[in-house]
Structure formats: structure tokens, C-alpha cells
């Protein structure tokens, strides 16, 4: 004896519950993954939760500032976090993150960020030396030979700020009119104008608003 077919609305409901269950499982796995990453950072790099002098639940620091160069004012945003790949060769703590520079012409450029501090950091990084480097890395970077602009910052933590200078990288990376220099860097002096910059705690939206306001 053949069994009657299941009504279509029952089939639809069953399928819908199955999809919802999959989404819940994906969500749970995603949350557990984030918790695991944060736990690993807390175990090996607990100082990341105290960058800037105060405890924060996210293991990174973000801030921005303005560099007053001869070619104009450059607004710079950075987000700094520990890299999972520390450099044993140079006995330093590797940093990673993202950066944006707002040029005197109002162009906002996204940059990859890397850097380092000494190994075996204390919870408080106040007074610690830090160096950061940034470079343009678009989606097709593997097919490009030009990753300008390239910027470099050197300085120290002065909680809650970063007090740094550009090590002449703005003069190497940009033209006198504030446009990106795409020529051979060897044709320019390595050290010329050194521009100080202090990065204060702030979000990307703070930086973006300041960039827009400065070019109205």
C-alpha cells in the first residue's frame, strides 16, 4: 500500500528549518573562532589589550594624526595589532594592521601596515620604541611593480598617544604638489625633511570626517 504524499507546505517548513539550523551552526563556529583567536592573543600577547594605557576588550589600538609637511598636510590613520608571525631573527614583536593616508589633495589611500616592538613586552608599553611601515597594496598588487606610496614612522608610546616622525618617508613618497611619486626611489635623497606626527586615539570614522572637513 502506497503512503500518501506529504503536503507541500510541510516540506517547505522542514526545508526552512534545516537551512536555519545550518546558519546557527555557522554562526556558532564563527563566534567560537573569534573567541579562540582572542584567547590565543591574550595568552601570548596580553599587552595588546592595554595598548594606549587602558584595558580594552579588543586586542588592537587605533588612532590618527596630522603631519604638517612642506608639500601640505597629511592625515594618517593606523590600526595596530599583534601579528601571529613574530620575527625570531630580529628578536622583535611583529605588528600588523591597516592604515589610511589622506593627502593634501583630498585623496584617501588604503595601506597595508606592519611594524615591530621589542620582544617580551610588559602589559604597559608606555615609553616603548615602535616602528611602523605602510605601503599601497591594491587587489592586483601581485601584478604591479609599484606599491607607492610607502611610508615609515618611528617613535615611542607616550600613553595614550604615539609620538613619532616620518623618517623623511613623506618627502620620498609624494611630490611637492601632494601627488604620489611613482618614480624610482633611488633618484631621491633618503633623508631630507623629517616631519613629526603625534597619533591620538580615534576611530576610522573620526579620521574620515577630519579628511572630509579639511578639503571642503
Residue 119 has pLDDT above 80, yes or no: yes
Residue 148 has pLDDT above 60, yes or no: yes
Mean pLDDT of all residues in 97-124: 95
pLDDT, position 41: 57
DSSP characters over 89-127: TTTEEEEEEEEEEE-TTS-EEEEEEEEEEESS--S--TT
Q: Count of residues for the chain?
A: 216
Residue 211 has pLDDT above 50, yes or no: yes
pLDDT, position 151: 97
Enter the pTM of the model.
0.80
Domain limits of the chain?
A: 7-44, 49-214
Tell me how far apart the alpha carbons of residues 121 and 129 are, in angstroms, rounded to a whole number: 11
pLDDT, position 45: 84
Amino acid at each position: 500500500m502506497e503512503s500518501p504524499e506529504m503536503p507541500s507546505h510541510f516540506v517547505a517548513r522542514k526545508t526552512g528549518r534545516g537551512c536555519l539550523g545550518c546558519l546557527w551552526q555557522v554562526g556558532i563556529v564563527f563566534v567560537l573562532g573569534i573567541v579562540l583567536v582572542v584567547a590565543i592573543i591574550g595568552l601570548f600577547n596580553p599587552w595588546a589589550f592595554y595598548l594606549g594605557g587602558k584595558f580594552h576588550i579588543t586586542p588592537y589600538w587605533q588612532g590618527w594624526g596630522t603631519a604638517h609637511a612642506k608639500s601640505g598636510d597629511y592625515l594618517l590613520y593606523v590600526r595596530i595589532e599583534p601579528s601571529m608571525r613574530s620575527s625570531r631573527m630580529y628578536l622583535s614583536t611583529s605588528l600588523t594592521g591597516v592604515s589610511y593616508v589622506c593627502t593634501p589633495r583630498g585623496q584617501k589611500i588604503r595601506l597595508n601596515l606592519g611594524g615591530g616592538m621589542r620582544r617580551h613586552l610588559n602589559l604597559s608599553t608606555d615609553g616603548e620604541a615602535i616602528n611602523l611601515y605602510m605601503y599601497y597594496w591594491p587587489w592586483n598588487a601581485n601584478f604591479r611593480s609599484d606599491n607607492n606610496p610607502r611610508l615609515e614612522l618611528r617613535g615611542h608610546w607616550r600613553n595614550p598617544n604615539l609620538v613619532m616622525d616620518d623618517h623623511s618617508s613623506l618627502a620620498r613618497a609624494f611630490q611637492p604638489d601632494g601627488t604620489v611619486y611613482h618614480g624610482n626611489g633611488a633618484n631621491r635623497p633618503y633623508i631630507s625633511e623629517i616631519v613629526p606626527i603625534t597619533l591620538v586615539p580615534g576611530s576610522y570614522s573620526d579620521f574620515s570626517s577630519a579628511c572630509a572637513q579639511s578639503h571642503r
